[in-house]
Amino acid sequence: MTSSTAIFWPVLAQVLLIYTIYVTVSARRIGAIKAGTAKPSDFKVPAIEPEASATAVRNLSNQFELPVLFFAACLSLYVTGAAGTSAVVAAWAFVLVRVVHAYVHLTSNRVLLRRRLFIVSLAVNLVQWLLLAIHIA
C-alpha cells in the first residue's frame, strides 16, 4: 500500500464540519440575543445559555474529542505510507458518520440515534488504527 494524499480530503471535510459548527454556534447565540431570550452576559456561564446554542456548543466540543483520534490516525497512516484505498475509505466513512451525528445533534438531538452514530464513528476510527497497526507490524 502506498501513501496517498487523498487521505487529506476527508481531513479537510472534517475541518469544514468544525468550522460549520462554529458558525452555527455564533448564529444561534446572535439569534438568541436578537430574540430576547439571552443577553451577551449569559454566555459567560454555560449553565444559563439557551438550549439551542448550548447544544451547538456541546456539539462543537464533541468535534475536539473523538475527531482528535481521527486526525492523528490520518496523519499516522500518511506518514507511514499506509494511506491507501482502505484507509481513505475508512476516513471518508468516519467523516460521513460525524456529519450525520452533528446533524442529529443540532436538529432533533435524538440521544439514542446520536449514541449509535457515535459508536459507529468510534468503530470506524478503530478500523483506522487497526489498519495502521497491521501496516507497521
Question: Domain spanning 5-136 has what CATH number?
Answer: 1.20.120
Give the type of residue at 103.
Y
Q: What is the pTM of this model?
A: 0.93
Q: In the chain, what are the domain boundaries? A: 5-136
Q: Given this model, what pLDDT does residue 20 score?
A: 98
User: CB-based contacts of 8: which residues, under 8 Å, 6+ apart?
Assistant: 74, 78
> Tens digits of per-residue pLDDT, 48-84?
888 899 999 999 999 999 999 999 999 999 999 999 9
Rounded to whole angstroms, the Cα distance separating 64 from 41 reads 25
Dig out the grid coordinates for 35 from the structure.
430574540
Residue with cell 448564529: 27
Radius of gyration of the chain (CA): 17
24, 55 Cβ separation under 8 angstroms = no
> Tens digits of per-residue pLDDT, 84-106?
999 999 999 999 999 999 999 99
